[in-house]
């Protein structure tokens, strides 16, 4: 199989020095700075909506076979990596759902960040519900 290469479309900016471990418990605000080349793709994103952000765990330790079973800090049991949200994964890709607070050009002000400052953004997708 050939290599799969991703190019970031932007970067997360936040002043928070500590972020929650998961977006479902986050009230942290920040900005998704999307490269200007992709600004037109943001045209239908509005304040108040939720979006899915796919990102790279760029500070995660390299994955090894010992990481197949992990104990999340909030659990009292060991789980297979694919049953966790751990940043230590075979492919260090993260997913968060954030609420859009404002859109200014290619900058999306959002709430619900669980990503550190400087995190590379790989993609944005709409948050869909059954009645969407």
81 in a domain, yes or no? no
Overall number of domains in the chain: 1
pLDDT of the residue at 36: 97
pLDDT of the residue at 26: 86
Residue 76 to residue 97: CA distance in whole angstroms: 26
Q: Which domain holds residue 26?
A: 10-62+98-126
| Tens of pLDDT, residue by residue, the chain (132 residues) | 889 999 999 999 999 988 888 888 889 999 999 999 999 999 999 999 999 999 999 998 899 999 899 888 878 899 899 988 888 899 999 999 999 999 999 999 999 999 999 999 999 999 998 887
48 in a domain, yes or no? yes
Are the C-beta atoms of residues 51 and 97 closer than 8 Å to each other? yes
Mapped onto helix, strand or coil, the DSSP state of residue 42 is helix
14 in a domain, yes or no? yes
Mapped onto helix, strand or coil, the DSSP state of residue 38 is helix
Which CATH number fits the domain that encloses residue 103?
2.40.30.70
């Amino acid at each position: 199989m050939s290599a799969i290469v991703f190019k970031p479309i932007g970067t997360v900016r936040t002043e928070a020095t500590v972020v929650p471990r998961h977006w479902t418990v986050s009230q942290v605000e920040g900005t998704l700075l999307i490269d200007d080349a992709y600004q037109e793709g943001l045209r239908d994103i509005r304040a108040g909506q939720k979006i899915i952000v796919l990102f790279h765990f760029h500070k995660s330790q390299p994955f090894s076979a010992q990481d197949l079973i992990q104990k999340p800090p909030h659990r009292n049991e060991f789980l297979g990596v694919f049953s966790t949200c751990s940043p230590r994964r075979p492919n260090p890709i993260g997913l968060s759902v954030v609420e859009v607070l404002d859109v200014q050009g290619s900058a999306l002000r959002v709430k619900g960040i669980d990503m550190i400052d400087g995190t590379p953004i790989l993609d944005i997708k709409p948050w869909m519900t059954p009645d969407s």
